[in-house]
Structure 1
Amino acid sequence: MIPFRRSAPSMTRQLIFSITAMMALLWLLAVGLGTVVMNDELNETFDGALQDTAERLVPLIVGEFEHYGPQEALPRLQTSRASGYREYLIYQVRDSSGRLLIRSHDAPDKPFETPLKRGFWKDSKYQYFTAFDAPTGIYVQVADKFRNRDEAVREGAVALFVPLALLIPVSGIAIWLLVRRTVQPIGDLRRDIESKDGGNMEPIDATALPRELQPIALSVNLLMTRLRTALDAEREFTSNSAHELRTPIAGALAQTQMLIAELGNDANRQRAGQIETSLRRLSHLAEKLLQLSRAEAGIGMADRQTELTGVVDMVVTDFQRSIAAPDRLILHRNAGTRLAGPYSEDAFAIVLRNLIENALVHGDPRKNPVEVFVEDGGMVRIVNGSPILTESELIAIRKRFSRGKTEAAGSGLGLSIVDRLLGQMNARLVLLSPATGRDNGFEARIHFPNLSS
């Protein structure tokens, strides 16, 4: 199975980021537009208040002038400032000549630099409104600082923006929860598809999927059905071929051995020996094909806990009895070391046989014996002497029908079978060269990550 890239962009993350960013941008735009509208409305309100104040002051001032006269009215109309109070509106009362008659406490003591003309006028600091009483020739000019207006707009804008500091993160969390819940069926479908391999080709349940994903699940199920049919046909052919070939090959090998015994020491005997060698290779290939068909059938797991150290002892003992030099194969295992797990003993035996056979066939008997180490932590190591293999050679020999640079006989299927079975057993095969603790050699390491020891 080709692993997916962990660095690939996440659709969920992109959706959450895009929706949150778009929503935040729209909110900021709405608040910005609201601030502009609020500024216009506040200016209209302030202008209206400015005009109302000026027009209401005119009759009051004119009435005082008419009742008390200018000399007595001026002291009465002059305002006093309350302690701690800031005037937001200031005013001046002027006659037709422009002379300053009365002013508010915070108003400048010089006349405003604004014409004596009824209506609005402004400079860099103030917005003015001038009211005029024609019979008396009195002008009332009320001014409002732009700073006061800017402060009101700024406070209003802050009141709009501050909630966004809390609203945007809360909305982001809500969007994250909603998007995760929405795309959860996609993740479920991905995991279902990811779990499919030669040992698991059960159809995906499409009934619980959203309508948009059901065609994908149905297409995958159709593909799985076709692939299962093809693999079943391949397995059946491989298994049947291996079974059917074993008997005639064994018969031909027996006949050849009888022929060799009857022939003298001549060229015919040598040719018969070559036939015997070829038949042995063919028998070995048939055995490997049978193992491959069993590996493809998914026999790696068992429905109960098994102790695999007994399998190690049995396989090593069988090889020591069958090889010419039993001391060429050495087993290292502490008495308390255990390999217990829900694994098929038959599958583990096939794995060990292939790895030990490779070590015996391709290892250099003159340098080091083949050593099998059973270690704590679910580790089994098979080490043999050999020249150092490059990284590319270690990768190449794992492929089916691929063989390293060797003249020894072999089918090129052993490591492929081992890889397949260990994958079903949730174990890993690691190939190392040089071997651990050596400056040469080859090491095949079986690691059961979840195996109790």
Structure 2
Amino acid sequence: MKMDYSLRRRLILWISLPLLLASVITLLIGYFYSWQEIDEIYNAQMVHSAKVLMQLTKEELIEEGAPHFEMDDERIQHEYEAKLGFRIWNNGQLVSFSSSAKDFKDMTAPLGFSSQRINGQKWQVFVLENAQHKMRIEISERYDARYELIIQLMGALIVPGIFFIPAILFIVGVGVRKTLKPMIKISADVDQRNSGDLSPIRSQSLPKEIAPLVVAMNNLFTRLNESFKREREFTDHAAHELRTPLAAMKTQTQVLMKKSAHIKDKSYIEGLENLQDSIDRTTHLVEQLLSLARLQSGDIQKETFNLSVCLDDCLQEYQIIAKNKDITLTKSIASDVWIFANDMAVTILIKNILDNALKYTNQNGSVEVILTSKGRMEINDTGQGLSDRDKKRVFERFVRADKTGQTGSGLGLSIVKWVVDQHDISISLEDNRPHGLKVILEWQLV
């Protein structure tokens, strides 16, 4: 059966995608919000620095009449200072500037904030003027200082996420697997059952989402079990009712054949023979139905018994049939091969396979039976064999792949398949070279 989709994968996907999407959205919102805040903080700092310089310059102007500042010593600069700068004018003359502002000679910035590109780099510039004292203060800062900070902040968010998100996804996967564990157990329970096990599934300690499904399945099993039980009872009763009249008909036919020994009408004799063959076929069908009904009447009671002895006993019964058909029946049976199974079911299985092998093997053919000490059984015949298509169908009820005209009910191998399923036996059909069929059974030893 084709699996359309995995419920576990779908749950993990529906949980993980919103989580990842929320993480990305949070990261984007954090980026824009952080950039805005950093921009505001740095701009406020530039305004504050400009006001401080303006105040200090005014005090210098009041005390000495003209401001005078020493150039800053480049030897004691912080590496970050290369991204900061200032310039001070008085009466239109540049009276002081930072070492990082030496290349700002041609820059003319308007009052307030503005963006300037100097030597290929983008600077944020703030200009503050005092008309009364004819003073002008310029505070400048490279934009990459802000970029570096936002990158560091985003890195502080992304790097832990690289480790945390897989861990969260793993935890989600484990949680989903544990959540679906009851369904997996139910699936395994049903999958391990044989075809005749319709007992209810245990419904204790199940999630309320799964409980209705289990209850519905148990109700279905109950209805199927009752239906199969009625079918078996009908088959059993019908077969029993047919046995007596069939036996009487066969007896009467045999009596008629004895009394008609002196009759020379060949059509009369052929009619009686055909009637007897029909009665034999019907009797065989009834016996097969009874065997199937007995096997399916209840739980299979298993016990440890010797498969070697069981197989040898069955072969003793079929030696006469093989001799009457001029078929060579040989055996190679390892001693003391013990299995845990139902002896009646195993006997029916072996007899059905032997019956088919002898039935479809031509006169002067051979049937070989092998049982190894490892529990491998082979029944090889030299009949016409089966096509690959027929090998897949012969285990179905009332399916017959015979083209030789032999009589049969089409139930023999379906009974074999039922016994095999009940005992977890491996069965396979192969070609027996140069012609014929090889039935291979792998038994579980004890």
With normalisation by structure 2, the TM-score equals 0.90
Alpha-carbon shift at residue 391 of structure 1 (Å): 1.5
Alignment match, 1:39: 35
Alpha-carbon shift at residue 46 of structure 1 (Å): 0.7
2:103 and 2:371 map into 1 onto residues whose CA distance is: 103
Q: Percent identity?
A: 26
**For 1:331-346, what aligned pairs fall within 5 Å after superposition?**
331-335=331-335, 339-346=337-344
Alignment match, 1:101: 95
**For 1:406-421, what aligned pairs fall within 5 Å after superposition?**
406-421=404-419
**1:206/1:225 CA distance change after superposition, 3 Å:** same
Q: Decide whether the 8 Å contact of 2:127 with 2:138 is kept in 1.
A: yes
Structure 1 stretch 346-355 or stretch 385-394: which is displaced more?
Answer: 385-394
2:222 and 2:192 map into 1 onto residues whose CA distance is: 15
**1:19/1:339 CA distance change after superposition, 3 Å:** farther
2:110 equivalent to 1:111:
no
**For 1:174-323, what aligned pairs fall within 5 Å after superposition?**
174-194=171-191, 198-266=195-263, 267=265, 268-297=268-297, 300=300, 302=302, 304-323=303-322
**1:237/1:101 CA distance change after superposition, 3 Å:** same
2:132 and 2:175 map into 1 onto residues whose CA distance is: 73
Alpha-carbon shift at residue 11 of structure 1 (Å): 0.7
**For 1:145-156, what aligned pairs fall within 5 Å after superposition?**
145-156=142-153
Q: Decide whether the 8 Å contact of 1:90 with 1:143 is kept in 2.
A: yes
Q: Secondary structure at the residue paired with 2:339?
A: strand
1:20 and 1:110 map into 2 onto residues whose CA distance is: 53
Alpha-carbon shift at residue 180 of structure 1 (Å): 1.8
**Which amino acid counterpart does residue 86 of structure 1 have in structure 2?**
Y
Q: Deviations over 1:360-402 (max 9, x none)?
A: 1012344x41111213543211111133532112223222111
Q: Decide whether the 8 Å contact of 1:50 with 1:143 is kept in 2.
A: yes
1:388 and 1:248 map into 2 onto residues whose CA distance is: 36
Alignment match, 1:164: 161
Alignment match, 2:346: 348
Alignment match, 2:60: 64
Alpha-carbon shift at residue 446 of structure 1 (Å): 1.4
**Which amino acid counterpart does residue 409 of structure 2 have in structure 1?**
S
**Which amino acid counterpart does residue 23 of structure 1 have in structure 2?**
L
Q: Deviations over 1:20-60 (max 9, x none)?
A: 23212211221221111111111111111111111111111
**Which amino acid counterpart does residue 414 of structure 2 have in structure 1?**
S
**1:430/1:418 CA distance change after superposition, 3 Å:** same
Alignment match, 1:85: 79
Alignment match, 1:74: 69
User: Which of residues 30, 49, 55 in structure 2 aligns to 1:53?
Assistant: 49
2:301 and 2:421 map into 1 onto residues whose CA distance is: 10
Q: Decide whether the 8 Å contact of 1:365 with 1:385 is kept in 2.
A: no
1:181 and 1:285 map into 2 onto residues whose CA distance is: 52
**Which amino acid counterpart does residue 274 of structure 1 have in structure 2?**
N
Q: Decide whether the 8 Å contact of 1:402 with 1:413 is kept in 2.
A: yes
Q: Secondary structure at the residue paired with 2:69?
A: helix
Q: Decide whether the 8 Å contact of 2:322 with 2:358 is kept in 1.
A: no
2:301 and 2:33 map into 1 onto residues whose CA distance is: 72
**Which amino acid counterpart does residue 226 of structure 1 have in structure 2?**
R
Alignment match, 1:440: 435
1:81 and 1:106 map into 2 onto residues whose CA distance is: 13
1:369 and 1:323 map into 2 onto residues whose CA distance is: 9
Q: Deviations over 1:325-360 (max 9, x none)?
A: 58621112344xx54332111111111111111011
**Which amino acid counterpart does residue 102 of structure 1 have in structure 2?**
S
5+ residue gaps, structure 1, are: none
**Which amino acid counterpart does residue 358 of structure 2 have in structure 1?**
L
**1:201/1:299 CA distance change after superposition, 3 Å:** closer
Alignment match, 1:20: 16
Q: Decide whether the 8 Å contact of 1:397 with 1:403 is kept in 2.
A: yes
Alpha-carbon shift at residue 323 of structure 1 (Å): 3.4
1:333 and 1:74 map into 2 onto residues whose CA distance is: 116
Q: Deviations over 1:280-318 (max 9, x none)?
A: 11111111111121333366551x333312211111121
Alignment match, 2:170: 173
1:298 and 1:308 map into 2 onto residues whose CA distance is: 23
Q: Decide whether the 8 Å contact of 1:430 with 1:444 is kept in 2.
A: yes
1:348 and 1:423 map into 2 onto residues whose CA distance is: 12
Structure 1 stretch 245-254 or stretch 356-365: which is displaced more?
Answer: 245-254
Q: Secondary structure at the residue paired with 1:380?
A: strand
With normalisation by structure 1, the TM-score equals 0.89
Alpha-carbon shift at residue 222 of structure 1 (Å): 2.2
2:125 and 2:6 map into 1 onto residues whose CA distance is: 60
Q: Decide whether the 8 Å contact of 1:103 with 1:109 is kept in 2.
A: no
Alpha-carbon shift at residue 233 of structure 1 (Å): 0.8
1:414 and 1:395 map into 2 onto residues whose CA distance is: 15
**Which amino acid counterpart does residue 18 of structure 2 have in structure 1?**
M
1:360 and 1:319 map into 2 onto residues whose CA distance is: 9
Q: Decide whether the 8 Å contact of 1:328 with 1:365 is kept in 2.
A: no
